[in-house]
Amino acid sequence: MLINNEADIKSSEITSEQDYLNRRQFMKFSALATAGFVLKNNLLWAADDSEKYHRLNNVVTSRFSTSEEKNSWDDITTYNNFYEFGTAKDDPADNAHTLKPKPWKVEISGHCKKPGSYDVDDLIKQNQLEERIYRLRCVEAWSMVIPWVGIPLKSIIDRVEPTSKAKFIEMTTLYDPKQMPGQNSYVLQWPYVEGLRLDEASNPLTILAVGLYGRVLPNQNGAPIRLIVPWKYGFKSVKSIVSIKFVEKMPRNTWNIAAPHEYGFYANVNPGVDHPRWSQARERRLGEFFKRETLMFNGYGDQVAHMYKDLDLKKWF
């Protein structure tokens, strides 16, 4: 049984901003009341962190980074969408320990001259790892500033030499319900699939991330390799990628299949196009109380607007 009707994706499955803020306040008060317990567990967590999420070597700062204040490691790793591990925002952090990110291969196929099965380490070792501090805007009207570590997707594209027939890239997440227990549910059609036009994929801002805060990417954030497209809503940034395919026609993406009137293929951040159930004109940065104006293309218009000059961004949302 597969669910393809947007009416079947219940709004109750998406944590509201107010519920999230209330939860964080409760957690803060609880932390004050149980300081000794929290301190002990933070020390244990820190030891585990240094062991599990080791630092990446020879990472350089990217010229594309924003100077805005970064969200904390805790913000980024405990509040995110990864339905393969559950629909609540804290489910990925609780459940993603079952994912085994090593060894990991990515199958590259379709209209390219050098298809094959590539080990993740082999894909990235010939490229300089960059830390790119990007704004990430989610469709539910919240945002973060995240220090990703990765490589330009264009470096992979150039390496495998797409043919003239390649107009789009289709990218697919691992399908393994034993490792990803959320795939035992019918909330989405599995495996998770996303796509980009080839020019979008080749834009200098588009990266394949393998790290966060200078450390190896945590499971709950899409280990071992995920897409980051900072001018688009977060659902475009497919996680735990196992397949990159060069195709001639626009691929269907998972959320567009599930709810076509709510989630388009392009998913460009656009304050002028509302989601049917909420406004996109304003957003709340995680950890802040007041909302701010949403920026067109998430503030990256100088780098990407030229790709859409002839596209009706309300029709092709």
- CA distance linking residue 192 with residue 214, whole number of Å: 27
Residue 27 and residue 89 in one domain: no
Segment 220-252, tens digit of pLDDT: 999 999 999 999 999 999 999 999 999 999 999
- CA distance linking residue 245 with residue 175, whole number of Å: 16
76: tokens are: 């980024």
Residue 248 and residue 153 in one domain: yes
| Identity of the amino acid at 9 | I
Q: Which helix (H) or strand (E) holds 216?
A: strand 215-216
Q: Is residue 120 part of a domain?
A: yes
For the CA atoms of 24, 26, 29, 32, the dihedral, rounded to the nearest 10 degrees, stands at -70
Q: What residue numbers bound the domain in which 43 lies?
A: 12-52
Order of all β-strands in the sheet with 241-247: 116-119, 105-110, 241-247, 168-173, 193-197
Residue 29 and residue 154 in one domain: no
Strands (E), 92-141: 105-110, 116-119, 130-137
Residue 169 and residue 20 in one domain: no
Report the chain's mean pLDDT, rounded to a whole number.
Answer: 87
Domain of 161, CATH number, reads 3.90.420.10
Q: Is residue 5 part of a domain?
A: no
Q: Is residue 4 part of a domain?
A: no
Segment 31-55, tens digit of pLDDT: 333 333 332 333 222 333 445 789 9
Q: Is residue 315 part of a domain?
A: no
Residue 16 and residue 32 in one domain: yes
**Residue 20: pLDDT above 70?**
no
Rounded to two decimals, the pTM is 0.85
Instruction: Give the per-residue pLDDT at 210.
Output: 98
The stretches of 133-211 forming alpha helices (DSSP H) are: 153-160, 198-201
Residue 271 and residue 200 in one domain: yes
Residue 173 and residue 207 in one domain: yes
Question: Helix (H, G, I), strand (E, B), or coil: what is residue 280?
Answer: coil
β-pair partners for 215: 55, 212
Q: Residue 191, preceding bond cis, omega within 30 degrees? A: yes
Residue 71 and residue 43 in one domain: no
Residue 181 and residue 63 in one domain: yes
**Residue 30: pLDDT above 50?**
no
Confidence of residue 126 (pLDDT cuts 50, 70, 90): confident
Contact 248, 112 (CB under 8 A): no
pLDDT, mean of residues 51-69: 91
Indicate the number of domains in the chain.
2
Instruction: Give the per-residue pLDDT at 53.
Output: 84
Q: Is residue 314 part of a domain?
A: no
Residue 27 and residue 105 in one domain: no
Residue 121 and residue 33 in one domain: no
Calculate ∠ Cα 233-234-235, nearest 5°. Answer: 100
Using the 8-state DSSP alphabet, how is residue 247 labeled?
Answer: E
Residue 18 and residue 118 in one domain: no
